[in-house]
Each structure stands twice: as structure tokens, then as C-alpha cells.
Amino acid sequence: MTTLLYFLVMAAVMLGLSRVLPGFVVTGWGPALIAAVVLALVNAILKPILFVLTLPLTIVTLGLFLVVLNMIMLWVTSALVPGFDVHGIASTLIASLVLAVVGMIWKSATAAKA
């Protein structure tokens, strides 16, 4: 039940971002929910591989390259999900930061509850 609620919260955040952030387009609840699930899968499968491949760059930038990895994951999600589009580097950066912060808040809230 917690996982389903997580995906609903992330979909709601994506819909909210699409109303506020130019260049971030979500056409409805369906694409938002699918994008939330696909983003979680991309983060679980592709991100660890890219993290290992770019570890030297991440170390040199003191971890700031992880923001770029988050942007890449969001871009891959937008390429896979119809009705979910991200246009421009600034929109991708802001959206990835907002989604990461919401994810961190969710994890800390569920960890404190457990």
C-alpha cells in the first residue's frame, strides 16, 4: 500500500510541475502514473550501471555529477513514456531536483514511521 501511495504522490508532483514549470509536460494522470513507475524502474536498473561507469567523474565533482545522472534518468523516462515530455536543460534540472527532494522526504517519513 505504501508503494502505491508513493507512486500516486510522485505522479501528483509531476502533474503539479507540469502546471508550474515550462518545458515539463504531463498530459494527465495516466501518463504521470506510468512515468512514476518507469522512473522508479529506470532508477533501479539503469542508474546503478551509469553510476559505476561515471564514478571517477562523480568523485572529481564531489558528487555533483549525481544531479546530472538524475537528469539523465528523467530524460530517459520522458523518451519512454508517451504523454510525458521534458524540454530543455533548465526544466530537466529543476524537475529532477524537485522529484529527488520529494523522494527524500518520502523516504525519511516512511523510515520514521517504521
User: Distances from the Cα of 56 to the Cαs of 36, 52, 64, in angstroms?
Assistant: 29, 8, 12
Percent of the chain with pLDDT over 70: 99
pLDDT of residue 114: 65
Within-domain flag for 114: no
Within-domain flag for 94: yes
Percent of the chain with pLDDT over 90: 92
pLDDT band at 112 (very low <50, low <70, confident <90, very high): confident
pLDDT over threshold 90, residue 12: yes
Within-domain flag for 113: no
Q: Range of 39's domain?
A: 2-107
Report, as an integer, the average pLDDT of 55-63: 95
Report, as an integer, the average pLDDT of 74-86: 96
CA triplet 47, 49, 67: central angle to 5 degrees?
40
Within-domain flag for 65: yes
pLDDT over threshold 70, residue 58: yes
Report, as an integer, the average pLDDT of 79-107: 95
Within-domain flag for 112: no
Nearest-angstrom CA–CA distance, 85 and 97 = 16
Model pTM score: 0.91
- For the segment 65-74, what is each residue's pLDDT rounded down to a tens digit? 999 999 999 9
Within-domain flag for 28: yes
Report, as an integer, the average pLDDT of 34-52: 96
What's the total number of domains in the chain? Answer: 1
Q: Are strands 84-86 and 24-26 parallel, antiparallel or unpaired?
A: antiparallel
